[in-house]
Structure 1
């Protein structure tokens, strides 16, 4: 069976956990206790996802993924490729829009309270900040929905179709 490389699998699962945790923190931050450092941790995870995405893209450029099963219908292959493209777009755009929004605020931006991260030269009045705020939220909800579809598709392949699609990433 063709599998993803161990580096690709490690990046996939580490990033999956970080992204899911961050979506929960971002979507649910108002419901969490105010004395928790939810937003600074959310921002730090977002910056980590952005950095890991760049590493993942670099790895992916040099290491082709294993082929999808020959018997898989063309529409499923197209859907898989489109989903992965959108995931990569979200892995860049969602953290980047968050960074832009944060840059317009007065609070410092740091990485897990260890060091400061430079901010973009924007203000709250800038159109880009408004677009980033709306886009960050909308993409976050869309990403959460797409993750649910992605997990459901992987489970369908593993439990119903009993093919090797999920095993390639395990």
Structure 2
């Protein structure tokens, strides 16, 4: 039977589920963000923006949950064959991924909070999400729109590097780095 928690050799199914769900939402959010601003139909664009905001709040909640789970559940160490440089940079890369996954939805929340359009945000049409206590202005909206855009492109570049590193481990180095994030621990390892 698979374990919910991590073992010394593999991740548990809770961390695996959070990892892949967050990854899919993060990449999907990038694609949705690019598409929603290029659609000519204002109605469709508006609906996609509302969906984008909904998934942004979901992403923020999931990443906070993942960080909390990670703080209470040690990750399995890297395989012995992993070099010193990679051992030092891997935690920095993971920290950067967490930081972008928090900063990006927060910058989007700030963007809708300062917008002079005053369109309420209703995640998945369930409730009205209150705005952050920031002053509304065109200048603030422009700043947060730019910040959100730059964070999105930098974040997706970091995700691409993360994917490339995982594929390198799997296909070139042939170690267990990717496999342990796919197959849950049995709890006996």
TM-score (norm 1): 0.92
1:142 to 154, 157, 172: 154
8 Å CA contact 2:101–2:155 kept in 1: the answer is no
Give the structure 1 partner of residue 105 of structure 2.
95
- Name the SS for the 1:115 alignment partner: coil
Give the structure 1 partner of residue 25 of structure 2.
18
Greater Cα offset, 31-40 or 131-140 = 31-40
Give the structure 2 partner of residue 5 of structure 1.
12
Q: CA deviation at 1:20?
A: 0.6
In structure 2, list runs of 5 or more residues that go unmatched.
1-7, 183-189
Bigger relative contact order (CA 8 A; separation at least 6) = 2
Q: CA deviation at 1:44?
A: 0.6
Distance 1:103 1:144, change over 3 A: same
Give the structure 2 partner of residue 168 of structure 1.
180
Distance 1:74 1:42, change over 3 A: same
- Please say which structure displays the higher CA radius of gyration: 2
Whole-angstrom CA distance in 2 between matches of 1:133 and 1:103: 11
- Name the SS for the 2:155 alignment partner: helix
Whole-angstrom CA distance in 2 between matches of 1:14 and 1:33: 30
TM-score (norm 2): 0.83
Q: CA deviation at 1:104?
A: 1.8
Q: CA deviation at 1:130?
A: 4.6
Give the structure 2 partner of residue 76 of structure 1.
86
Number of residue pairs aligned between Structure 1 and Structure 2? 170
Whole-angstrom CA distance in 2 between matches of 1:50 and 1:87: 13
**TM-align CA RMSD:** 1.8
8 Å CA contact 1:103–1:109 kept in 2: the answer is no
- Cα-to-partner distance string for 1:138-157 (whole Å, 9 max, x where unaligned): 11001111111111111111
8 Å CA contact 1:47–1:111 kept in 2: the answer is yes
Whole-angstrom CA distance in 2 between matches of 1:62 and 1:117: 29
Q: CA deviation at 1:127?
A: 6.7
8 Å CA contact 1:101–1:132 kept in 2: the answer is yes
